[in-house]
Structure 1
Amino acid sequence: MSRFRSWRAKHKNKMLKVPLEFESEEEMDRDRCASEPPTPSSPPIVATSGSAEHITGENYMIHLKLISGHNLAVRDVTGTSDPYVKLKHGRYKARSSVIYRNLNPHWMEKFIFQTKDLSLPLNVKVYDHDIVSSDDFMGQGTIHLNKYEHNKVEVITLSLTDPVAPAEQLGYLQLEIKVLNMTYHEQHAYEQQKLQQSKKKIQCWNSILTVTVLGATDLPAMDSNGFSDPYCKFKLGSQKYKTKVQPKTLNPEWKEKFDMKLYDDQSKQSLFIEVWDRDFPAADDFIGECLVELCDYEPDVQHDLRLPIGESSGTLHLLLVISGLSCKEESDVLSGNLMKQAKIDFQLQNIVKLLSAKEIGLLHITIERGADLCSYNERDIRSFVTIEVGNAQLRTHAVSYTADPIWNKTFSFPIKDIHDIVHIEVINERKGKEEWLGQLMIPLLKLQVGHSKTYVLKGKSCLNRAHGTITINCDLVYNIVCAGLQTFKPKEVPVLEEEPKFQRKLLLRNIHKVIELIHPVVQVHHYIQELLSWQNPVQSLMALMVCCTVNVCL
């Protein structure tokens, strides 16, 4: 204790010299604000992650519609241009689509953005799209937003100019603009919408729209030779697809399939189909269009559609299937009633009616579950099953985060040939890409019906075993007489024919076969050369005597 007192007395002066640390003015202000009650003079500030702006102060919503361009500048050697438009207002930037080989393009595109300062100009620039070199400048214009009346649509004719050459005539753009005052609730709704759009890239699809384009008939002739070079464009939301060009025909056959992903907010959308005639180097000619309302078609059923192409006399033939929807509760009574009705329809007493029909039976198949499908991390697993019987193909919904998924999805397939094969594939969607896990191929006559059966998945060659198993339950009803008569008819032609792929192993095998055939010929040629050069006098003399004998005999 005395030792401690002596140490404290020795260091007493040093302990008193330690400076005191005071709070900074910023910390004191923060503490003072925390102690005072908030004033309800303005709505709270809402900060939403993923948005470019916070909702503070007065905001405006700008609705801009890019209609068309007229008499635009020529920038290509072909006497045309490939124009597109760039928009810039503060931090907001947008770009229109490219209209190829057209000086009077029609875009009809809408742009919506939010702003706080109407004094900032909206800069509009037009460029010519070039693949090899950099894009060429075609003109620019400025829109002053504070000059337009709020909540009213106004049409703008924007003349394009070039600061380097102000006297050059570069044409003009037709636009529509509407400036809206946003309330606090509208601002919040707009921010939420932007957040949903940012998340849509990683959003999981809800169902799949499968469109199989078979062909078209009686298309109008758009070229001087009396034919057309038709192709189709498909658009569903932001998803766009295009078929190949079929040259010089009015009855094209494409036989191409496209899978389009449907999200929760796209179940009532429309599928837009356009048919065009390919012209090069001139602009493509528009033939006609079709509109398909998805809500008008029953899911998990293949629909055979023949759609009129606009006002022309042509008809577009395609197959449409909406599959992959989440499993719906289907009672055993309903399933049993369906099979009872099928047994009545395919009885022998209806043989006269069945002979004229295309279907000879009905397959009722339930994909129950899978087990130990893959060895990935569970967060990377999102598996679904595709079932194909003949030309009909359907798929289940996707089950995530488990290697032992439970689908319990039931499908009904009309049977046209009793010798068809049930082809089942298990696919995993990992990081936006589909990975093949295994398959199962069972002839209809070898299906074990009436109870659940677990099968081991096979590899791509069906000889080796893949990872995991799958459990299915089948029920098959068919007419024996019609099935027997169908055996003597030609087999149904597949709608989609797989294009032959380049196989390196097959090429090497064929090269080896050709070498084996050429090798004996080369050996005979060398032997004849040795005889003629008398490298072995005995063999050459015997060959000469044989030739002389043959000539004397002939």
Structure 2
Amino acid sequence: MQRPPQEDYSLKETKPHLGGGKVTGDKLTSTYDLVEQMEYLYVRVVKARDLPGKDVTGSCDPFVEVRLGNYRGITRHFEKKSNPEWNQVFAFSKERIQATVLEVTVKDKDVVKDDFMGLVSFDLNEIPKRVPPDSPLAPQWYRLEDRKGNKIRGELMLAVWMGTQADEAFPDAWHSDAATVSGTDSLANIRSKVYIAPKLWYLRVNVIEAQDLQPTDKGRFPDVFVKAILGNQILKTRVSMSKSINPMWNEDLMFVAAEPFEEPLILSVEDRVAPNKDEVLGRCAIPLANIPRRLDHKPLISKWYNLEKHMIVEGERKKELKFASKIHLRIWLEGGYHVLDESTHYSSDLRPTAKQLWKSSIGVLELGILSAHGLSPMKNKDGRAMTDAYCVAKYGQKWVRTRTIIDNFTPKWNEQYTWEVYDPCTVITIGVFDNCHLHGGDKSGSDSRIGKVRIRLSTLETDRVYTHSYPLLLLHSSGVKKMGEIHLAVRFTCSSLLNMMYKYSQPLLPKMHYIHPLTVSQLDILRHQATQIVSMRLGRSEPPLRREVVEYMLDVGSHMWSMRRSKANFNRIVGVLSGLIAVGKWFDQICNWKNPITTVLIHILFLILVLYPELILPTIFLYLFLIGVWYYRWRPKHPPHMDTRLSGADIALPDELDEEFDTFPTTRHPDIVRVRYDRLRSIAGKIQTVVGDLATQGERLQSLLSWRDPRATALFVIFCLVAAIVLYVAPFQVVALLTGFYVLRHPRFRHKLPSVPLNFFRRLPARTDCML
């Protein structure tokens, strides 16, 4: 596969006009906002009164048509109502205005042809301007006119003004960009919105024991377990080892719960009477609102809960019987929003869920979503390629969605959003999607991904405006593809530098996560549960933030096996170790006198440090300081962005990509799966060998004093005794000088064979000979 040119994926710095001003260096000449100012003509249609009857019955079905040149916006219509109230806002972009007169017409809805009822016209040169924070323009009553300009019966309340996208009417307005979209559902899907993700809690259930159970079969020992249900989450304990009517477990179950708590926790004690048959011995429902929230590590008091049993009597009627059976539990809630993206190493929120543990904010993050360029066609309509693009930004619990720009490969949003920042080591994610729920499309369809950008706040200088064009890269089964570019303006303003620097000394997560840590398997399960909950909650908004959007923003598939990602991580490890390898090669050159001048200088430095050992630590820190100052002029000037070479996306083989995009479980032919399985076994075998080699070296170190090889341990113990005597008698400087000069000796005094200590270490026993 041919590698695409790397320059296509580069980050480009821009100098847009923001807020009517221009970016000069790192500052703005205008502090209005972070987006380019766009002017709109706003028309608020409030209501009408005393409209004339047009039907045979003397009533009317009125609606309003707002026309400006070729653009036309229509309100909803009311049946048989002469005093309707619409309260709808229409926004026409000034860039596309090609008329001098605005016409607002009231019509009567009819089956064949809508009847004209009157109009109000405005000269665009006489429309007032409004700039927030000015108060909204008060609507006025206007008398309707006929087409000749004569006053007729009926009045219409309107407000017409020129404003910008900063107007509070902007998010809910009908836009001229959406002139081709019809239907209430479709119009709702194009508006910009702010979403608040639900507060997530960990629900920990410590199942201790049960008491006085009443199994149906008295002649056998019950195999009892506890099943816990919270919404769609179902967890079970192991079968109790104590085969009695008073079983014990002392086992923890963990769930993710979201506010507001809608479903109770349902616990049922069940007896496994057959391999595929379980009998309910009792159940109880516990409302989450009654469960305590744990904010510290103090122990909680356990409680006994009564169990209820369902008995079927009189046909299908169910009767609840309360009896003496009880279950002993310890239940509490603790914050856990970070579980959504903790393991991906780029979390957007590290605060605990409980507000009592919140600290003050350290600053404000401002994001201006300006525009996109060169977007790829995402679908076809009437034989013509088109893209209806919108953006989603996620930081903390606040998700935002821009309006959808209809049928445009270079959309301009110019929308600005703000977040409070509580930790600088967090990441904001911006994704671009194609809206597939317009034009009467399939409601069950999915919005297509165009690409996304991640920006880590700690890599940004404070109070600086970053305006860059980021490449939108998307990995397909055919390879990586550039889907266009998105133009963003970002500013991170710090309110307290001292508080921000103090954050670097604090733990990432609340105390409870370190006192009661979660296992890797628990995190995987909880992350899946949290993603499901957030997807369902945001999908119930209007317009919905759909499941495919939420999963893409949360990198749901990042934990699946990928040959490409495994190779990329291996190359990252090699890159990290390359520095140590380079130091080792440099030291080997010093020892072998490749550069005699450098070796002599090293001898002098070594002699000084040995004679004055108190200078060792200051010299190390001074050297690190000088390196840091030296690298300052090569500090990054731009925020980091998606790197195809680091990800291995530009050199991935087609079969590797096909495997990565395969479903789970696989849908490929068994022959292909067999080949991939064999390849996976080969790679896993190499990893297994490397891990085994590391374990072998550690076991050899352990065997020095374990007497597993009595002769080797005896030699090492004798050597330690001799070394202790020599070091006790001889001055430390003399020993250090002799050791250093021996290591740095000239090549003519060296042997090509391995040294004695290395030979001794390689002969030490490991546990590999005990492996099957």
Which interval holds the TM-score relative to the shorter structure?
0.3 to 0.5
The structure with more radius of gyration:
1
- TM-score when normalising by structure 2: 0.26
Structure holding more helix per residue: 2
Q: Which has more strand, going by share of residues? A: 1
Relative contact order higher in (CA < 8 Å, ≥ 6 apart): 2
